[in-house]
Structure 1
Amino acid sequence: MNFFSSKVKKTAVKATLPSKPWYREYGEALLVAGILALIIRSFVVQAFKIPSGSMEDTLLIGDHLLVNKFLYGIQIPFTDGRYLAMRHPQRGDIIVFEFPEDRGKSYFQRRDFIKRVVGTPGDVVEVREKRVFVNGQPYYLANEVHKEGVLLPANLSPRDFMPPVTVPAGRYFVMGDNRDRSYDSRFWGFVSDGEIKGLAFIKYFSFSEEKYQNLPLVPKGDGLFGNLFRVLLSPVCARWDRFGRSIG
């Protein structure tokens, strides 16, 4: 009888043990979600926003896009190592990369640029009177635009006249589609394989700053209220026709 009573008491004690506190359960869920988000951002896909007009009219200021980070190989954070690549960057790819002039800066100080690949390893790239030549042949894209008619002489700028350069192994020559208003490989050289973050493949959102600035009684700056108003007025200022468009 005593043995049975003792067993019942132990069972009752076990049944009434408290569960995890609610804040611990929420904390663990947030931790798991944060780890998954970090893995996806680091190895699968990452969102970027276009801040300048160097890729017009393919990409406009205010376009938000997604970048495929595993196509060119998985990159280990804080290193230049890349593994399990499905393919290498090809001519015509639009890529996001760390700005080569930031190479001496810390990882968190490096800026991201977006340009189109024009030359791959072994290619010879040249610019004559604004026209791009690759391996001696004209390289023209329907997407490229020229917004300035004046030719700058070679002794002033490599924008319109650049002598032939051979792209080294593990390097890429990139240019903006807005040829006359792009700061690219003509000025600062090649992008290394380790600096490439991925391939831009789709526009998921587009915000027209011009529409926003033309609205009455809205904060014009980038402060707290300005950014809050931009979020609230996104349906009004969105470029709906650009949503979900592939990039190429």
Structure 2
Amino acid sequence: MNFALILFILLLVSGAIWAVDVFIMRRRRAAGSKDPWWVEYGASFFPIILLVFVLRSFVFEPFKIPSGSMIPTLLVGDFILVNKYAYGVRLPIIDKKIINVGSPQRGDVMVFRYPEDPSVDYIKRVVGVPGDTIAYQDKRLTINGEPVEVTQVDDYLHPERLFYSHQFVEKLGPVEHRFLNDEDAPAFINDASAFPHREDCLYNHSGVICKVPEGQYFMMGDNRDNSRDSRYWGFVPEQNIVGKAFFIWFNFNDLKRVGSFH
């Protein structure tokens, strides 16, 4: 369901009703007479829909985390806010950038439209920016020939599945974050799709090495062995970017998570 398109249609309909009422019908209506119900409701909803549309299109948009691919940073059921203008102002519906504000940086948690099905929103961490050479070999990350700084910390207990994963702290640019590795999961990628620019990637028994093309980004989940990401379906084009995730505003199962993550 394209919620942005539905909201835009509601905005047009309610706006048209409001305009017709203000500029045409009120002048013809007898003094003191009551507005027709459809005019009253349509016109009253217009400013509310307009406010929601502007906020959602240009400022912040809410999302719910549907899977565990970003554990331990984001958990299933987290409701997050996404900064829509962090990477530039885009026209609603057609998603064309009209003002360049900034670009994704390594370490950012980014929401984007899934390249294989743009109607679906995905969330992953930016690992590679245009021009980077990303190597994920034997479950260790190297960027442009430099191993990423990693420190092992206490194992992570998955509360619902009651098993442990090895947990590490990794530094990407200025961002420090935790990620997980499962000791018994293989390092190789056995079912990567035939994605655009696949010729820029080399798959081997230890994992994958990719040169990130211009205008593309390499994304990975923090739950490294339980995330289908750029290792499997390729790069995220700049035009698929939705925004930068930065804030957990609710979680029905754990209110302590509210306000965390930035």
Counterpart amino acid of residue 90 in structure 1:
Q
Cα distance in 1 for residues equivalent to 2:114 and 2:188? 26
Partner of 2:230: 185
1:151 to 168, 183, 186: 186
Q: More helix per residue: 1 or 2?
A: 1
Of 47, 61, 68, which aligns to 1:53? 68
Cross-structure match for 1:174: 219
CA apart distance, 1:119: 0.2
Shift of residue 156 of structure 1?
6.9
TM-score (norm 2): 0.69
Q: Deviations over 1:107-132 (max 9, x none)?
A: xxx10000000000010001111011
Aligned twin of 2:43: 28
* Superposed displacement of residue 165, structure 1: 1.3
Letter in 1 for 2:242: K
- CA RMSD, aligned part only? 2.2
- 2:245 aligns with 200
Specify the code of the residue in structure 2 equivalent to 1:175. Answer: M
- 1:86 maps to 101
- Decide which structure has greater strand share: 2
Which of 132, 138, 163 in structure 1 is aligned with 2:141? 132
Count residues in correspondence.
196
- In structure 1, the residue matched to 2:121 is 112
- 2:8 corresponds in structure 1 to none
Q: Could you report, residue by residue, the CA deviation over 1:87-144 in whole angstroms, capped at 9, with x for unpaired residues?
A: 10000000000000115xxxxxx10000000000010001111011111112242411
Specify the structure having the higher radius of gyration (Cα): 1
Which of 98, 102, 116 is the aligned partner of 2:117? 102
* Unmatched segments (≥5 aa) in structure 1: 1-15, 104-109, 209-238
Cross-structure match for 1:17: 31
What is the deviation of 1:20? 5.0
Code of the aligned partner of 2:113: E
Q: Residue type matched to 1:145 in 2?
A: L
Gap change, CA 1:156 and 1:98, over 3 Å in 2: closer
The match for 1:218 is none
Q: Indicate conservation of the 8 Å contact 1:96/1:115, yes or no.
A: yes
